[in-house]
Structure 1
Amino acid sequence: MYTHIKDVATGGTPVAQAKGAMIMLHGRGASAEGILSFASEFALKDIALFAPQATYGSWYPESFMAPVENNQPALDSALEVIHALVSDVVAAGIPKEEIYFFGFSQGACLALEYTSRHAVTYKGIIAFTGGLIGQQLAMENYTGDFNRTPVLITTSNPDAHVPLKRVKESGGIMENMNGSITVIAYPGKAHNISKDEVDLANKLFFTKN
């Protein structure tokens, strides 16, 4: 088993000049630099980008649907890395209500898990193909109030790694925590990020004005 060190790639607008931030969480076998480059697909303006790198390219070793103890200590370590990064962003002058979270696959699961364990007003949460983590969800972990934070969760129907039931369950839990939830399942989509998902995220989060 393994833990993570805080190794963060950055991009976008320099944080001192930025009006907001996006924390970007890569998928299994991918990289911080890879997900950082994906930010160009979004219509971002004045946003500082932060992408932590998972040790060995994986935030936790087994499926997100495995018993939580099977993914420890990597999972708790990953959540601690994100928490430290959020603290760094806030210390740099960007409040939590101006922070976006974005993740794909394993990174999407981690984004949902972290924000649901620390529910406050965020700028937005974008989870492409993911759900809350654990064979059985520990509801006592999910505390706070999203205060109508917009949340987009997308997936394939079916998806080989992410059961649609868990995606819907995750959306329901976050909605009960006062999130403004959009859940979309794309029939027959591959386990990837589609143009439709990007277009929807841009519409919901970045090109409304």
Structure 2
Amino acid sequence: MPSRLRHRIDGIRFDNSAHPTGVDSTGVTPAVVEAVSEAVRRRMTLRFGYRDPDSPSRRTQPHGVVARNGRWYLVAWDLDRDDWRTFRVDRMTPRLPTGPAFEARGIPTGTATGFLASRSKGSAHDDAWPCVGEVVIDLPVIDVARWVHDGEVEALSAHSTRVTLGSWSWAGVIAAVVRFDAGFRVLGPDGLLRAARELETRLAAARTPRDGVPTG
């Protein structure tokens, strides 16, 4: 996105003090999210207790952390079951240190987000947004996912997150992204790219003084 759209939006701030216990609205502690995301990013085998902290370890090759409908999920290759699985992050108790590094496998649907969506089929989609776009926001997943409830989130690196958002209009999608007060890049589709360019033009016009209109 042009730098003009990456300016600070006055009055919009995210207050982490809303979660004094260290647990956000999804029931996940930042330490767990960071441990799981780090294992994904470094392609390190991850062991964790599931549902019960004292349960036998699940051994996985983690491929993606995805937020969907207010919950966070890990998409991983389960080494014990020799198959792809999804795990709710709020039910995981990582056991550190992580295990050996592994080579990434090809996820059947191409992405962790797509895999989770394929496992969620059967739920109602009659209320799907007419405009759905994809962007990369220059913030860690821990600072993004808690604010995304009608979209999907996937950690790309320690400081960037892919977000899929929906709205009634492309301008609405852009507005939802700009409120994060961070740099971002539009991945698509074309409708969202056009909306971003149109917004850039409107912002430029708003800064241009008109004849007879006071500027100060």
Q: Work out whether the TM-score is over 0.5.
A: no
Greater Cα radius of gyration, structure 1 or 2: 2
Q: What TM-score do you get using the length of structure 1 for normalisation?
A: 0.27
More helix by share: 1
Is the strand fraction higher in 1 or 2? 2
